[in-house]
Amino acid sequence: MAGLPIIGMAVAALLIGLMRRRLARTQWVLSMAMTAGLWLVVLLLSFPLPMRLELSVWQPQDLFPSSVVLVMDNTAWAFVYAAATLLMSMVFTAAARAAEAPAGVRAFWFLYTGFAMLAMMAGNMMTLALAWASLDLLTLMFLMSMAHRQEERAHVLSRALADVAGVLLLLAAAIVPEGVRDPSIAEAMSHPLAAGLLMLSVLIRLGLVPLHLEMAPVEKLRRGLGTLLRLYPPAVALVLLARILEAGLPSGVVPWVRGVGILAALLGSVRWLLQREAIEARPYWILALAGLALLSTGSSGDAGRSVVAAGLVILLVGGALSLFELVSPAHRALPILMGILTAGPPMTPAAILAGGLGESLLQGTSMLLQVVALLCMTMLALGCLHLLYQPSAGWPTAEALVRVTYNLGLVFPLITLLGLGFWMNAGISLWGSVAFGVELLAAGLIFVGLRRLRAETVERARGWIDTFDVGFLQQVLVYVVRGASRLVRPIAQLFEGESAMLWMYVIVLMVLMTLG
């Protein structure tokens, strides 16, 4: 049962590939039907929780000491359900976008979501490493096929280097504990070095170390598929972070984690508030929420709920922000609703995050840190209001079905987030209510203050914030990738043409001599 969503995504990708010669309208309707069916399957899987699926042990056992294990518990189900909702919203809004997605891209939607779900349900370190590596390899192959300019390819490879570093750190964390061939996350966290490596792999996957590496500047990845490529990796990392916190984070690591969290939350929320365009500032939305999730960490296992709540806000509110285009005056209400859900009203997942930040005060966190965290949440909520001032694009088509599905695709993630708040028993907590009241007051003051500022002052503030951008690190990686490609190209030419046959004979002779 736990593997049904992944199998369903693979079958859907295969069907879309078989329908590649059909009209785009037919492919879109088929995609909607399959996403709705898979979403319903994931919803029904919430009743028999928890579930576990263990495949047979691979051979040789010296290389693969354990089998692939999938676990569908409350944490995994919440993320899988949010991922299925995000995919359905993206498919429902696809017909209202100007560019039509070819069949290969549509198949990639389902395949990529399936690998993301595999990573979310990973039950041991080997499954987690395989899922992360598969997700990164699939992303690399697809982006390289989309990137045609040398600059775009260099950006793709530089981002892939960071992903490879995260997977290697994950493998190192699995190897460090002595006497355990395939440690669980709880066993790895009992070893200080392994715990540090695991946390570092999470920070890299979240984009916190180094702070935000840009995706390849491919125009087709702005909306639609770009939404999945941006939101799934941090969600996968937050699943691991939640399990780490459930196992217990070493007390010596907590101050360092919170230090990274406050830096990311401040930089991300300020840049999101001063954004010029929501799509361009989307990485900073993720950066700030990931930082707030780290600020809620502590020695207790309850901090895992705050991380899950942050991940749901990233997937669902972040998905609605990415897919939003103002095509009707009625849509101006949606950014207001997105901002409210981000601020954390009672009985919502964001309220759990705000409550977790407040409860961490009882564990020794300074009052100043709490005030800064609430200000960051306030700025994230206010930044959503920028969408109110977007120029209206108008409906690209007069078809009633497209308009209905587009409206459903934008509203459904927000409704799902409200439902998940009830499912998580968010309720009305003291800390959450106080935090929400403080955020409303701060939002009013910041809004009035920004309205009184001159445009030149805001531009100077943007320029000052830009000085903290670490994009130069990616430029360094781009130069390294270009230099390495120049060195590898002459060597690769030796294996082309007639010389390739010669090398093949040499390799065959070496194998025969070895068998000897």
Averaged confidence pLDDT in the chain: 79
Structure tokens at 446: 């910041």
96-150 tens-digit pLDDT = 776 677 788 888 999 999 999 999 998 888 888 889 988 988 888 888 887 777 7
Cα 119 to Cα 94: distance, rounded to the nearest angstrom: 26
Q: Is the pLDDT at 161 greater than 70, yes or no?
A: yes
Q: 355 pLDDT band (50/70/90 cuts)?
A: confident
Structure confidence at residue 150 (pLDDT): 72
Please tell me which residue, 433 or 62, carries the higher pLDDT value: 433
Q: Is the pLDDT at 275 greater than 90, yes or no?
A: no
Cα 291 to Cα 89: distance, rounded to the nearest angstrom: 26
Structure confidence at residue 318 (pLDDT): 92
Q: Give DSSP secondary structure letters for 101-139.
A: PPHHHHHHHHHHHHHHHHHHTB-SHHHHHHHHHHHHHHH
Asked if 131 and 90 count as a contact pair (C-beta separation under 8 A), the reply is no
Asked if 471 and 159 count as a contact pair (C-beta separation under 8 A), the reply is no
Structure confidence at residue 180 (pLDDT): 59
**If we measure between CA atoms, which residue out of 305, 269, 313, 302 comes closest to residue 287?**
269
444-492 tens-digit pLDDT = 888 888 777 777 777 777 666 666 665 555 566 656 666 666 665 665 5
Task: Please compute the mean of the pLDDT values over residues 441-445 and round it to a whole number.
Answer: 85
Q: Where are the domains of the chain?
A: 249-469, 471-516
Structure confidence at residue 39 (pLDDT): 94
- Rounded to the nearest 5 percent, the helix, strand and coil shares of the chain are 75, 0, 25
Q: Could you give the percent of the chain with pLDDT greater than 90?
A: 21
83-110 tens-digit pLDDT = 999 999 999 988 777 667 778 888 899 9
Please tell me which residue, 197 or 208, carries the higher pLDDT value: 197
